[in-house]
């Protein structure tokens, strides 16, 4: 899937030095014994991969997973290229479809999502005006075109859970992120949920909607110390129909 990298070249060393500046001031964020990603770490990883022109598939994969609070192993890794007609229905046995419309909005249709047996349709508008290097909609669309991925084909051929996680942990190690091997793919969904919980103006109901969680299950993904549980209950009980936790 990705080319092996020679870590002692001047290009790589310069990229490492630049990307480390993003991570050197950051506290290590964890949920229990799991380390969590943050936007700054995600962007540092993407900057490093771009500068070294390596693992070309990992940047769009990571940005997409972060944007939609995706479950990497079951939702992101099996993604297939699609087309606009798939908004109405997926081909038989197709796991998913990913396409970009004429307004530069990226669409992800999943046949099933946990707690959503009828499937899910997610959209990501272009965010190039705010952060062009980290716009998940455009980065995924550009990757699809550059790799000439045909409709119905997998977006990340050969990227297994083990291979993709090892690639991420390798970059985290080079960036001197604390405890790089403690990061699993849970670090994406849980990390973004926790970060949103700490963002002023973002309610837990907003987080639940973005992650398509059932009411109580979001508490498994955000650090308890960062969430006022009574407020969470008040905000979500009205939305809940006796839903079971994840």
For the chain, list the strands marked E by DSSP: 30-31, 34-35, 96-100, 106-110, 120-124
Instruction: Give me 134's structure tokens.
Output: 């980290």
Q: How far apart are CA 142 and CA 113, in angstroms?
A: 26
3-state secondary structure 123-160: EECCCCCCCHHHCHHHHHHHHHHHCCCCCCCECCCCCC
Query: What pLDDT shows up at residue 62?
Result: 98
Query: What pLDDT shows up at residue 54?
Result: 85
Q: Within 13 Å, how many C-alpha atoms sit on residue 183's CB side?
A: 26
pTM above 0.75, yes or no: yes
In the chain, what percentage of residues exceed pLDDT 90?
A: 54
Q: What is the mean pLDDT of residues 31-42?
A: 81
Mean per-residue pLDDT of the chain: 81
Per-residue model confidence as pLDDT tens digits over 104-133: 999 999 999 877 888 899 999 999 999 899
Per-residue model confidence as pLDDT tens digits over 185-213: 988 988 888 888 778 887 777 777 787 87
Asked if residue 165 has pLDDT above 90, the reply is yes
Asked if residue 164 has pLDDT above 80, the reply is yes
Query: What pLDDT shows up at residue 44?
Result: 93
Sorting pLDDT into bands at 50, 70 and 90, what band is 32?
low
């Amino acid at each position: 899937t990705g080319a092996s990298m020679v870590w002692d070249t001047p290009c790589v060393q310069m990229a490492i030095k630049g990307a480390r500046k993003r991570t050197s001031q950051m506290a290590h964020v964890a949920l229990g014994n799991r380390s969590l990603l943050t936007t700054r770490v995600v962007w540092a990883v993407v900057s490093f991969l771009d500068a070294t022109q390596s693992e070309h598939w990992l940047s769009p994969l990571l940005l997409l997973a972060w944007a939609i609070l995706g479950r990497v192993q079951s939702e992101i890794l099996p993604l297939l290229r699609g087309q606009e007609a798939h908004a109405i229905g997926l081909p038989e046995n197709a796991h998913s479809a990913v396409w970009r419309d004429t307004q530069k909005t990226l669409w992800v249709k999943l046949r099933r999502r946990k707690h959503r047996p009828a499937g899910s349709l997610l959209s990501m508008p272009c965010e190039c005006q705010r952060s062009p290097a980290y716009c998940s909609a455009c980065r995924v669309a550009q990757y699809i075109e550059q790799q000439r991925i045909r409709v119905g084909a997998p977006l990340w051929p050969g990227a297994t859970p083990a291979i993709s996680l090892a690639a991420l942990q390798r970059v985290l190690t080079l960036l001197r992120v604390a405890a790089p091997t403690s990061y699993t793919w849970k670090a994406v969904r849980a990390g973004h949920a926790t970060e949103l919980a700490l963002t002023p103006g973002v309610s837990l109901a907003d987080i639940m909607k973005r992650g398509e969680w059932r009411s109580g299950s979001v508490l498994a993904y955000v650090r308890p110390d960062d969430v006022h549980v009574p407020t969470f209950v008040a905000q979500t009980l009205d939305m809940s129909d006796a839903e079971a936790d994840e």
